[in-house]
């Protein structure tokens, strides 16, 4: 590939990255429009659901120069009416000559239809360039569309010997300020945060976003899974003064009087039948998908982490490992539950990304 074309693709992904914290429930999209003479005549990215798409920004910048131009884009232009009109119609009307796209849109409302409509209008279509990078950029959107559930990211911070607290429960702070700051970015880019009852009882967290980056139309949801209703309605996460939409997911029936104090505090209560892990996690994720939650960050604790893993519902793991040794047979680790009986059944991470953040190591990978 020519250096100039490689530079164009770098620009496409730079533009798409600008929507990391804002496009949900839509994908992150960047686009560059190049005239037949090789001049960049338009650029754009999708900033927020309901706002113009990347293609529209390109066409507005290019004007008449769009005629005969080539559009470089990381995903198929949409062919359906959603919050905005179909982009393929605007591209055809502008007289685009060629579209070079990384991926077919997995959304069945567009999947392949956008490309076919462009080709039927006499526009050349090329696909597949930088497809792996495009999939990684929009893995949350792709998983949610294909599986009708949110993409699940499991995160924890631990010592080098795999402890998330001392045997007395002391955990503030195992990882560095730099690592904790990086983990806050995960909260910003996910639509919802989930913890189990044990985390609320041990730490009483607020589960708030603190960086102010997320401008998505999807409300920030803080979800507590508590089958047996062990948590207190007075917990900070349920406070009406703490930002975010609080949810309690339980196996208790909706009419249980113990749920009244939660509702009185404005908490959204979701009663689900028992599943293999007391609360039916698959039913929960299906419900969240209907609320347009495309990405879910699971922050603990150990039993909750295992329940999601055991159900085959974890897509990616991010672990922050601090260079300290805690020890202690009863000191907790990030994953509890029954565990696997044989090593061949252990969950393996693929596509590992390893980096240092302050004194700590950040390890990320997707579940094979």
Cα separation, 12 vs 45, in Å, equals: 8
- Cβ–Cβ under 8 Å, residues 77 and 42: no
- Cβ–Cβ under 8 Å, residues 360 and 179: yes
- Catalytic residue IDs: 55
Q: What are phi and psi of 365, to 5 degrees?
A: -165, 160
Other beta carbons within 10 angstroms of residue 354's beta carbon come to 10
What tokens appear for 299 in the block? 């922050």
Which phi-psi region, left, alpha or beta, contains residue 352 (left: φ > 0; alpha: ψ -120 to 50)?
beta
Q: Strands 245-250, 70-73: parallel, antiparallel or unpaired by DSSP?
A: unpaired
Q: Which of 43, 40, 119, 30 is nearest to 75 (CA)?
A: 30
Q: Which of 113, 82, 87, 96 is nearest to 29 (CA)?
A: 87
Cα separation, 71 vs 125, in Å, equals: 10
């Amino acid at each position: 590939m020519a250096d100039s074309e490689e530079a164009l693709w770098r620009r496409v992904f730079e533009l798409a990255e600008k929507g990391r914290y804002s496009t949900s429930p839509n994908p992150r999209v960047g686009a560059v429009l190049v005239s037949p003479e090789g001049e960049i005549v338009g650029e754009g990215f999708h900033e927020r659901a309901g706002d113009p798409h990347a293609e529209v920004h390109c066409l507005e910048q290019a004007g008449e120069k769009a005629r005969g131009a080539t559009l470089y884009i990381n995903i198929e232009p949409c062919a359906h009416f959603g919050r905005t009109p179909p982009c393929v119609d605007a591209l055809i009307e502008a007289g685009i000559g060629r579209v070079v796209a990384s991926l077919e849109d997995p959304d069945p409302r567009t999947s392949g239809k956008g490309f076919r409509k462009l080709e039927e209008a006499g526009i050349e279509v090329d696909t597949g360039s930088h497809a792996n990078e495009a999939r990684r950029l929009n893995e949350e959107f792709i998983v949610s569309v294909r599986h009708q559930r949110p993409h699940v990211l499991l995160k924890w911070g631990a010592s080098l010997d795999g402890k998330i607290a001392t045997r007395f429960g002391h955990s503030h702070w195992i990882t560095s300020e730099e690592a904790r700051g990086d983990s806050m970015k995960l909260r910003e880019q996910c639509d919802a945060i989930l913890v189990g009852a044990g985390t609320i009882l041990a730490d009483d967290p607020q589960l708030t976003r603190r960086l102010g980056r997320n401008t998505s139309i999807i409300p920030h949801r803080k979800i507590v899974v508590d089958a047996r209703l062990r948590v207190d309605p007075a917990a900070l996460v349920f406070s009406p003064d703490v930002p975010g939409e609080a949810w309690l997911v339980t196996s208790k029936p909706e009419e249980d009087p113990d749920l009244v104090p939660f509702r009185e505090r404005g908490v959204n209560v979701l009663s689900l039948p028992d599943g293999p892990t007391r609360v039916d996690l698959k039913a929960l994720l299906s419900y969240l998908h209907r609320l347009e939650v495309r990405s879910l960050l699971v922050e603990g604790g150990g039993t909750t982490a295992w329940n999601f893993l055991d159900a085959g519902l974890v897509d990616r793991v991010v672990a922050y490992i601090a260079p300290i040794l805690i020890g202690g047979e009863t000191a907790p680790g990030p994953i509890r539950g029954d565990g696997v009986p044989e090593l061949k059944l252990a969950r393996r991470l693929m596509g590992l990304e390893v980096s240092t953040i302050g004194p700590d190591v950040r390890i990320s990978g997707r579940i094979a």
